[in-house]
Amino acid sequence: MEVHFDELLKQITDFIKTEVKTETVVGQPFELGEFKCVPVIKVGFGFGSGGGEGFQKKDLKGEGMGAGAGVGIEPIGFLVTKGDEISFLETGKSHGLAALFEKVPDLIENLAKVRMTKEAEPA
């Protein structure tokens, strides 16, 4: 049996390129008031393969092969921009996206403070 490892590796790499994206895992960037939020993920993957063949007698031949791949994807936070300011909101290792939702009230509160300050300033 002929094995084309280069072709197999290319197919796996193409799959990772098309499927392992922030948009397919977490979602599209979004806006929350004056804040622009871009999801960030961490991706790790591994690939392994092996094969062999052997002969016992003149007419007996054996072959074996195997391959495996694994992908780990984890949302790690959001890049948040407002004007020229950029900050990173970590989702937290133990809570995943739940930590982001815990920070949303703070974002809204800060947004409200900024608006109140602008409204209180003399024109």
Cα distance between residue 101 and residue 67, in whole Å: 39
Asked whether 80 and 36 are in contact (CB, 8 A), the reply is yes
Q: What are the residues facing 85 on neighbouring strands?
A: 82
Q: According to the model, what pLDDT value does residue 101 have?
A: 65
Q: How far apart are CA 76 and CA 93, in angstroms?
A: 7
Tell me which residue has tokens 């004056």.
Answer: 34
pLDDT, position 46: 82
Q: Which domain holds residue 68?
A: 5-120
Q: 19 falls in which pLDDT band (50, 70, 90)?
A: confident
Work out the mean pLDDT of the chain and round it to a whole number.
79
Residue 87 has pLDDT above 80, yes or no: yes
Number of domains in the chain: 1
